[in-house]
Amino acid sequence: MKEEMTSLERTLAALSFKEGDRAPVFLLFTMHGAKLLHMPLRQYLSRSENVARGQLRLRELFGHDCLYPLGYAAAEVEAFGGEVTFFRDGPPNAGRPFIRSSEDIDRLEKPDISKAKAMQEMLRTISLLKEEAEGEVPIVGVAMSPFSLPVMQLGFPSYLDLIYEDRQRFWSLMRVNQEFCVEWANLQLEAGATAIGYFDPVSSTTIIPRSLYLETGHLVAKETIPKIKGPCVTHLASGRCMGIVQDIADTGSVAIGVSSLDDLGEVKREGRGRMAVIGNLNGIEMVRWTRKRAEERVKEAVAKAAQGGGFILSDNHGEIPFQVPWGIMGWVVDAALKHGRYH
């Protein structure tokens, strides 16, 4: 049995394609801390102290290998002046799109992040977690890719129309979003984040064909990711990645978040030596798992992707649903400790 590592050492080993003491386990909680602190979600997410305390309590409870300071992704459109809708039992979401005409794109400017309350709270959360992590636990920041953020800025149908029908304004929007994404990601790294999750679901082959991705989201990522001053993980948020694994590796990503619709073993082979794989437990199905099913799913993921390092066990979406019970997540960690050890 290998000597016990810290969570950070274990994660860095995985990202370096080395076998540490065991495969890391990332439980990507954004909302469950509210349950532990007995708070409504809106109250919990409104203050960095709440989120930091929730993250630390969750890690004490489950012993997983990361801290996840994300409050809610819609905070990025909130910074542009967009609306956010809060829910009792799910993540806050973007409200009515704030870009409603082509002329709105012509006038769009990068928002001042220093005046964006929710984003400032997230930066403070990172700083608070850094103090507690003491260099032993990775802190995973999050930035929406410039290519995927417009789904919240314009709405999906209008954004697809823009991509296909007005490429000049598309690139104008990308320039604003790239500047915003790079600044936001680097501010998180300066605050103490270890790495950035570059969430880019629109690039997934579930949503657009590879040929269109290569003309758009791929070029955007190749320009954006090198400007981020720390490791980036491209996450397609449940979207398929097979067919573009090598393309994503070409962007400079150190790892890829893998959908439950993809085969972990195939993705691992495709990206071998270039990108680690993260995933791919189905968070929706997880709601109704038995202990036996949890162990089966973890054992299968480990068998397909853990050998030789380069693997982090996690959910497939980058956010565990609020409805997943405590017990099931405990079973996932127990199974990972049992089956994920390297000898």
pLDDT at 2: 77
Long-range interactions of 89-96: CB distance < 8 A, separation 24+: 89/41, 89/322, 89/323, 90/31, 90/321, 90/322, 91/30, 91/31, 91/319, 91/322, 92/41, 92/42, 92/45, 94/152
pLDDT digits (tens, 9 = 90+) for 107-139: 999 999 999 999 999 999 999 999 999 899 999
**pTM (two decimals):** 0.96
Beta bridge partners of residue 281, listed in sequence order? 315
Q: What's the rounded Cα separation, in Å, for the pair 268 and 277? A: 6
Residue spans per domain, the chain: 7-339
pLDDT digits (tens, 9 = 90+) for 184-228: 999 999 999 999 999 999 999 999 999 999 999 999 999 999 999
Q: Does domain 7-339 fall into CATH 3.40.640.10?
A: no
Q: What's the rounded Cα separation, in Å, for the pair 327 and 330? A: 5
